[in-house]
Amino acid sequence: MKRKLFGGFGLAAAAAVVLIFASPTYRQGEPSIAGSAPHDFNFELDGKPAKLADLRGKVVVLNFWATWCPPCVEEMPSLNRLQQHLAPQGVTVLGVSVDDDAAAYDRFLRAQGIHFPTYRDPSKKIALKYGTSMYPETYIIGRNGRIARKIIGPQNWDSPELLAYLQSLPRSQ
């Protein structure tokens, strides 16, 4: 009986380890993308056509999200505060929503009072070019137009640590 019990615990522990390493949030073996050029794409900014490349010279917090994603919804207020706090220092939050439903997307922006530029990409082509398959996922793009960091999962974007990191980028790049 003890042998079966220990064997069962051992098997469960091994399965847990496999699940942790197979989890998309773990991504231990993923090569670094720091220093690589981000994929350029077209979007609308203040009612006018724009491209990601047009934002070169600013630090861009490129956030992939959706209204149906609870962690995305949870981090929206802190992205709003980040935009308000760091925009004068040359930091821009750019949201790319993968929502299919345009009406739900528009209602969400109004209800949440989103102040940073967002673009709805129901085709998900932009997210796919970046390799994004889970949301939220964020790319920090330095003033030099290169990816500085990739962040998977929701964040408190106005935490002292993230604010200090983002404020250091304009000076160092």
User: Which tens digits make up the pLDDT trace of 74-83?
Assistant: 999 999 999 9
Same domain, 1 and 71: no
Same domain, 63 and 109: yes
Q: What is the CATH number of the domain that holds 94?
A: 3.40.30.10
Same domain, 85 and 168: yes
Asked whether 102 and 67 are in contact (CB, 8 A), the reply is: no
Same domain, 53 and 5: no
Same domain, 42 and 92: yes
Same domain, 45 and 122: yes
Same domain, 79 and 139: yes
Same domain, 26 and 37: no
Number of domains in the chain: 2
Query: Which domain, by its residues, includes 98?
Result: 33-172
Residues of the chain whose pLDDT is less than 70? 1-31, 170-173
CA separation for the pair 133, 69 (Å, rounded): 12
Would you state the structure tokens that stand for residue 35, as one six-digit string?
């220093």
What would the pLDDT profile of 30-53 be if each residue is shown by its tens digit?
Answer: 557 888 899 999 988 778 899 999
127 vs 42, 88, 90, CA distance in Å? 13, 28, 24
Pairing type for strands 118-120 and 91-97 reads: parallel
Element (H, E) at 43: strand 42-45
Same domain, 112 and 83: yes
Same domain, 26 and 62: no
Would you state the structure tokens that stand for residue 140, as one six-digit string?
């920090």
Q: What is the pLDDT of residue 168?
A: 87
Element (H, E) at 53: none
CA separation for the pair 173, 168 (Å, rounded): 9
Cα–chain center distance at 145: 17
Same domain, 26 and 38: no
- Signed CA dihedral, 68, 74, 79, 84: sign only: positive
**Confidence (pTM):** 0.80
Q: What is the pLDDT of residue 133?
A: 84
Same domain, 16 and 69: no
